[in-house]
Amino acid sequence: MMKRKSRTDAGYAEAEATESRRIVQEQQSLLRLTTEGPSNIDSKDFCGAFAALGLDNSWDSKAFKKDFKIDIKTLTDEHVVFDMIGIDPPLVNAFRRVLIAEVPTVAISRVTIHQNTSVIHDENFAHRLGLVPIKFEPDLLESRHEEADFTDQDSVLFKLHAKCPQGQKQLSVYSRDLRWTELSVHQREQLKEAPPAPVDGDILLAQLAPGQEIECDCYCEKGIGKDHAKWSPVCTAFYKLHPVIRFEKDIVGKDAEDLKRCCPMEVFDVEDVPQLGKRAVVRNARNCTTCRECLETFPGQEKGLFLGKAKNHFIFSIESVGQIPAPELFERALIKFKEKCQTAKENVSHRRGAATK
């Protein structure tokens, strides 16, 4: 009699532990959206946090390599969208930041204005020129020291000369009017196959009235977005957590129709089920913008709708300005990130070495 009771207790304890582990795992991987706001947003990522439950949450490179996945959804030179699965938010955010601020490009950084009789001020005109995206491989240039002169090793030169003739109503000056001018014979030979040029020739720079004239030299150099946004290679680089939408109980009949109607992003649909009639189903969870309309007006929370986000599944989007194709941008960001990790590792080793001396 005693033995039987003990086995039952052991089984009960085991079932309780399994349920606790399931709850913890769900809390680790999902945040929940409620009418009061998001809940369960943090992740307990210090190892040993759940040791009492027999759950090992320490970071493991082998498990990461096994579980990490990239699933490409859109792939063009201008735009890439992909899912990153099995990765922590700080890492994804690091890639985003490297993309925006640390992948180098080439942009106009010094403008010498010889003549400007137009209505646009020299400073404003120079600023507009700086924002013209230039298509040119940044690795072909060395980084210029702040105080140093521009040379054929670290810069390329565009000249611009436009004058509106008397008798003409007006003259529009576009980015296509920037003419690349070699800084040396060596540079002419080196770049003659793929000379630098604006990404788009139709960027309006100024408008001249009859008799007005602009003449300037524009020196371009390599830089990064951290120094000035004109060097940032991306229009946008952002991610969002993948929505997780499910029903904790069936939503049927008029409720199903109401739920479908209340979502502006067409996330839900209604299907006919024998014996049950109309039942709500999730059709396009990816479309969800987390507006929470379904929680507030439907109201979903009371009717068994679970709205959440996966904390380790990211929808990542990169839009290139045009200097570097979007798929290549991500590769360059990864290389940059690896270099940064290497530098950090060397610094730590160096300090550790110094501390043990």
**Is the N-terminal amide bond of 325 cis, ω within 30° of 0?**
no
Q: Could you say whether residue 32 binds ligand SF4 (CB under 6 A)?
A: no
- The least CB distance from residue 84 to ligand SF4, in Å, is 21
Residue closer to ligand SF4, measured from CB, 269 or 293:
293
Distance CA 214, CA 112 (A): 11
Q: Could you say whether residue 293 binds ligand SF4 (CB under 6 A)?
A: yes
Distance of CA 44 to the CA centre of its chain: 25
Phi and psi of 291, rounded to 5°? -70, -20
3 state SS of 264: coil
Question: Which of 50, 190, 290, 315 is close enough to bind ligand SF4 by CB under 6 A?
Answer: 290
Sequence-ordered list of residues with C-beta below 8 angstroms from that of 123, at least 6 positions apart, any chain: none
> Looking at 8-16, 67-75, 85-93, 289-297, which segment touches ligand SF4 (CB under 6 A)?
289-297
Listing DSSP states for 102-117 in one string gives TS-EEEEEEEEEEEE-
Residues 211-250 that bind ligand SF4 (CB under 6 A): 245
Question: Which of 103, 218, 267, 324 is close enough to bind ligand SF4 by CB under 6 A?
Answer: 267
The size of the interface with ligand SF4 (CB under 6 A), counted in residues, is 12
> Looking at 92-100, 117-125, 283-291, 315-323, which segment touches ligand SF4 (CB under 6 A)?
283-291
Residues 307-326 that bind ligand SF4 (CB under 6 A): 307
Sequence-ordered list of residues with C-beta below 8 angstroms from that of 315, at least 6 positions apart, any chain: 73, 81, 82, 83, 239, 240, 241, 242, 286
Q: How many other CB atoms sit within 10 Å of the CB of residue 181?
A: 14
- The least CB distance from residue 172 to ligand SF4, in Å, is 43
3 state SS of 297: coil
Distance CA 213, CA 215 (A): 7
Locate 25 and state its tokens: 């795992």
- The least CB distance from residue 204 to ligand SF4, in Å, is 38
Q: Could you say whether residue 284 binds ligand SF4 (CB under 6 A)?
A: no
- The least CB distance from residue 263 to ligand SF4, in Å, is 3
Residue closer to ligand SF4, measured from CB, 203 or 281:
281
Q: Could you say whether residue 39 binds ligand SF4 (CB under 6 A)?
A: no
Q: Could you say whether residue 333 binds ligand SF4 (CB under 6 A)?
A: no
Residue closer to ligand SF4, measured from CB, 30 or 140:
30
Distance CA 174, CA 129 (A): 10
- The least CB distance from residue 37 to ligand SF4, in Å, is 13
Number of H helices, E strands in the chain: 8, 16
Question: Which of 183, 292, 304, 319 is close enough to bind ligand SF4 by CB under 6 A?
Answer: 292
Instruction: Return residues touching ligand SF4 (CB under 6 A).
Output: 245, 263, 265, 267, 288-294, 307
